[in-house]
Amino acid sequence: MFKVIIFDLIGVFSEHYNEYSIFKTITSYKGTAKSLKAYVGHDYNKLLTGQSTELEFWNKLKKATNTRKSVDSLKKDFLKHFHPLFTYETFEKAKNNFKTALCSNFVNSWWLYLKNKFKLSFDYEVLSSSLKIMKPSEQMYLSVPNFFKIRPSDCAYVSDEIEDIEIARNLGMKTIFIPGESKECRIADYYYKNVQELLEVLS
One-letter-per-residue 3-state SS of 63-95:
HHHCCCCCHHHHHHHHHHCCCCCCCHHHHHHHH
Task: Provide the 10 A C-beta neighbour count for residue 102.
Answer: 22
Average pLDDT score, the chain: 94
- Going by pLDDT thresholds of 50, 70 and 90, the confidence category of residue 148 is very high
> How many of the other CB atoms lie within 10 Å of CB of 149?
7
Q: What pLDDT is attached to residue 185?
A: 87
Name the 3-class secondary structure at 31. Answer: coil
pTM for the whole structure: 0.93
* The predicted structure's pLDDT at residue 154: 98
Mean pLDDT of 78-106: 94
Cα 166 from Cα 170, distance rounded (Å): 6
Kindly state the helix (H) or strand (E) to which residue 124 belongs, with its residue range. Answer: strand 124-127
Q: Residue 100: is it exposed, middle or buried by C-beta count within 10 angstroms (0-12/13-18/19+)?
A: buried
Give residue 110's pLDDT band: very low, low, confident or very high (50, 70, 90). Answer: very high
How confident is the model over 159-199, as pLDDT tens digits?
988 999 999 999 999 999 998 777 788 899 999 999 999 99
Cα 108 versus chain centre, distance: 12
